[in-house]
Amino acid sequence: MTRAVTRSPQAAKRTESTDLATPGRGLSRRGLLGLAGASVAGIGLGVTGDRVALAAAATPGAASASAVYPFYGSHQAGIVTPAQDRLHFAAFDVSAGVTRAELIELLQDWTIAAAAMSAGQDIGEYGAVSGPYDAPPEDTGEAQGLPTAGLTITFGFGPTLFETADGVDRFGIVGRRPADLTPLPHFPGDDLDAGRSDGDLCIQACSNDPQVAVHAIRNLSRIAFGRAALRWSQLGFGRTSSTSTAQATPRNLFGFKDGTANIKAEEPDVVTDQVWVSAADGPAWLAGGSYLVARRIRMTIETWDRTILREQEAVFGRTKGAGAPLSGGTEFSEPDFALAGREDRPLIGAAAHMRLAHPSQNHGTKLLRRGYNFVDGNDDLGRLEAGLFFISFQRSPTQFTTVQLNLAKHDALNEYIRHVGSALFVVPTGTPDGSYVGAALFA
C-alpha cells in the first residue's frame, strides 16, 4: 500500500482524538529537534502516512509483509513474536550531562515513534513528504510504499544505565537495579571488542523487510540526537531460530539447522518459567520483563568449509541434511546420549555442541533464542567477516551463563568460532497505551 502524501480531514481528526488529547502523546521539543531541526520545533507527532491497516493484524505464526504486531501490550513485542527474517540491532550510550527528566523524555519520544512505525505509520505530524519545504522531513522516508512486514521494536536497559563503571548513579535509579543485571563474565575463549560490546540502552528492530528494520533504527537514532549516541549496531539476515511451531527450522552459515529445540510461543508454561521475570524475582517494576543477551560470534568460514562432512556432523551432533540427532530419528527426536556406536563410543560425542547445550546437561535450563546470520564484507586478510549474531531472552542471566560456560569449556565448535562482542540488557515489561517504555522504573 502507498503512503498518504497529504493529511486528510479524517487523518487530522484521528490525530487530534488519539494523540493530542492524551498527555505525553506529542513528540517532545528535543525529539523534534533531532528529527528535523529548530525550524519545525513545536510540531506534535501525528499518525499520518499509514502503510497498512491495523485490521490486517497478524495471526500467530504469520511471517508476511502484511503482518502487524502492535507496540503496546502486556509484554514487549519481538520476544515470543514469530521470529522475522531481518534484524537491525543498535546499542546506545546516554550523552554526558543528560538529566533524569531528559532520559524519561527520550523514552517517551521513542515510545511514540515506535508505536507509529509498528503500526505502519510515518513519524511526525507531517511524515516524510507533507511537511514544510523549508524544513527537513520528520520521517526519513525510505519506508514509503512498504508495509510493516511484521516490524517489532524492543527496548532494553544496560547495567551502566543504572550505574556507570566508575560508580556514578546518573539518574537516581541505582537502588532499583535488578540484582542479576551485572556485566556478563569473560568466558574462556572470549576475544571481545569493547567497541562492539555493552551499552546503556538497546533497540532490537526485527522485520521481514530489511529496509523497514533499518528505517526504524535510523529514525529512533535521529530522535535521540543530543541525548543518546549510537555505540554499535548490527545488521542480520536469515533468522537462526524459530520461535513458533508454525515456522520451519532455519540454517546457520555452517549449513546446519539451528535452534531445533528452541522455546516456542505455543509453550506458554515454558515461556512463563524460562523467559518472563516473575514478581517474586524482583524488583517489582521488572515483573513481566526479561533479560536480553547479545553475542557477536565470528565464524571461521574458510576453515569450516575445508572440514569433512563426518567431522562437521560430529561437531554439532546432528546430521547436516535432516538435522536429526546422530543417535537416530528425525529432527525433533529426543537425542539418546547413551547410545554407542563403533568402539563403544557415544554416537553423540562428549564435545558435541547439541549435547553440551541440551537442557539435560544444564540443570533443565532453556533459552529463547532469536539470533541472525551476518556477513559484513571481508577482513584485512581477505577472510569473510561473517557469523552469528546470537540473541537470547531468559528469565535470569544465569540461564545463559550456565549454558555458555559449559560450551566455552568443552564445545568442539570452539575450533571454528570466536565470541567478539557481548552485551546484557534488561527488557522492561510491555507498555500500556498512553504510557512509555520503562515507565515503572521511574515511577
Render pLDDT for 250-268 as a digit per residue (tens, 0 to 9): 999 999 999 899 999 999 9
Q: What is the pLDDT of residue 59?
A: 44
> Which cell numbers in the block locate residue 125?
505530524
pLDDT on residue 342: 84
Position 323 scores a pLDDT of: 97
Residue 23 lies in a domain: yes
How many domains does the chain fold into? 1
- Let me know if residue 347 belongs to a domain: no
Residue owning grid cell 531472552: 393
Number of H helices, E strands in the chain: 11, 9
Domain-embedded: residue 384: no
Instruction: Give φ, ψ of 352 to 5 degrees.
Output: -65, 140
Residues contacting 80, CB < 8 A, separation 6+: 243, 265, 271, 275, 368
- Determine if residue 45 is left, alpha or beta; phi over 0 gives left, psi from -120 to 50 gives alpha, anything else beta: beta
Contacts of 226 (CB under 8 A, 6+ apart): 30, 33, 34, 95
Residue with cell 480531514: 9
How many whole angstroms separate alpha carbon 390 and alpha carbon 259?
Answer: 11
- pLDDT given for residue 49 in this prediction: 45
Residue 209 lies in a domain: yes
Alpha carbons 269 and 281: distance in angstroms, whole number: 17
pLDDT value at residue 273: 97
Residue 208 within a domain: yes
What 3-state class would DSSP assign to 55?
Answer: helix
The runs of H, that is alpha helices, within 70-125 are: 100-118
On whether residue 183 sits in a domain, the answer given is yes
pLDDT tens digits for range 308-330? 999 999 999 999 999 999 999 99
State the burial class of residue 202 (Cβ atoms within 10 Å of its Cβ: 0-12, 13-18, 19+).
buried
365 domain-assigned: no
Contact between 221 and 123 under an 8 Å Cβ cutoff? The reply is no
Residue 343: what pLDDT?
84
Pairing of strands 228-239, 372-378: antiparallel
Q: Which residues are registered as beta bridge partners of 296? A: 389, 421
Contact by Cβ (8 Å): 355, 348: yes
CA of 193: how far to CAs of 71, 93, 272, 291, 422, in Å? 32, 16, 34, 22, 8
Residue 62, in any domain of the structure: yes
Domain with 202, as residue range(s), is 9-298+424-442
pLDDT of residue 33: 67
* Ranges of the chain with pLDDT below 50: 1-24, 37-63
